[in-house]
Amino acid sequence: MRSATAGRIFSTRFGGVSLRHRLEDLALGVAGACLGVLPIEAASWLSGQVWRRLGPRLGAERHKRALENLAIAFPEKLDAERTVIAAGMWENLGRTFAETFRLAEIAASGRVKVEAPAGFDQTEARVVCAAHQANWEVAVLGVSAKARLAGVYQRIKNPLVDARVRKMRAFLYPGGLYPKTPASLRHLIRHAREGGTLAMLADQRDFRGPHVAFFGAPAPSTPFPAMVARTLGLKLYAGEIVRKPHARFVINLVEIALPQTEDRDADIVAATAALQAEFERTIRLNPEQWMWTHRRWG
């Protein structure tokens, strides 16, 4: 009875927004204010340690899913080894949480080093994809503002939190940051056709996409990056983000082979598979820096 009553109280709406959403937004604002008074390195470390200890307990269901996913990806590892990776994942998520409040400072402080292939043109229109590695929010710093970068993101269920987080990210996308909707995807295609660059996270499941190999198991994957690049004749890149000590990062840009045969659909599937294979390769190098809580395989 008490649980049902509490649920009704938290779902009560004030000005169209539930009390739960207002409290969550308040908590986020307080956390940001507290972490904001510390040096970036200290805030990142502190948040990482808190999440490392509390994440498996407060996010028990997600922790269980992470261990299940690690068993799929690394069947050769012992349970204890997977547990160590999961603990590192929680710490990385905590660090990313703290650093997201300081994105502008990170962008301006030279904490991100970009390693690009020879001949990489910062002003050239392209499609750049990243995975939820290290601090994935900094991935777009590997692309010059001259490239008119536009991005797409998954809305957060809490509209207040969504607006707050979007505001923290928006300055990184001079070409616009759009929620993932059919209308937004059409706008992004038009943006790319007009010479802009697209950036997106492409390591989550997409049941409408082809099932391609990911850690040896079929995984429904988004074909959107490969489709845009193949259709418009743009280059497709994977951006690997590696966390280094003291809240510093390296972004490695790798061009993904994009077939140009008479079978357009087969080309898109092949490029999608190559993109996911590149994600897998880099995740294996630093598995604790990837978000294993996704329902990646189904």
Q: Per-residue pLDDT tens for 208-243?
A: 999 999 999 999 999 999 999 999 999 999 999 999
Kindly state the percentage of the chain with pLDDT values over 70: 93
Q: Are 154 and 180 in contact (CB under 8 A)?
A: yes
* 76 CB-contact burial (10 Å; exposed 0-12 / middle 13-18 / buried 19+): exposed
Q: What is the distance between the alpha carbons of residues 263 and 256, in angstroms, rounded to a whole number?
A: 18
* Average pLDDT, integer, range 52-76: 97
Q: Are 92 and 293 in contact (CB under 8 A)?
A: no
What was the pLDDT predicted at 141? Answer: 81
Question: Widest CA span of the chain, in angstroms?
Answer: 66
Is it the case that residue 207 has pLDDT exceeding 80? Answer: yes
Residue with tokens 């140009």: 260
Q: What is the distance between the alpha carbons of residues 136 and 154, in angstroms, rounded to a whole number?
A: 14
pLDDT band at 1 (very low <50, low <70, confident <90, very high): very low
* Average pLDDT, integer, range 184-204: 90
Q: Which of 93-97, 133-137, 184-188 bottoms out in mean pLDDT, i.e. has the lowest? A: 184-188
Strands 217-220 and 211-214: antiparallel
Global pTM value: 0.90
Q: What is the distance between the alpha carbons of residues 181 and 164, in angstroms, rounded to a whole number?
A: 19
The crossing angle, in degrees rounded to 10, of helices 79-100 and 60-73 is: 120
Q: Are 243 and 146 in contact (CB under 8 A)?
A: no
Could you report the per-residue pLDDT of 109-136, keeping only the tens digit for each? 889 998 888 777 766 778 999 999 999 9
Q: What is the distance between the alpha carbons of residues 39 and 30, in angstroms, rounded to a whole number?
A: 17
Q: Are 114 and 80 in contact (CB under 8 A)?
A: no
pLDDT band at 4 (very low <50, low <70, confident <90, very high): low
Is it the case that residue 12 has pLDDT exceeding 70? Answer: no
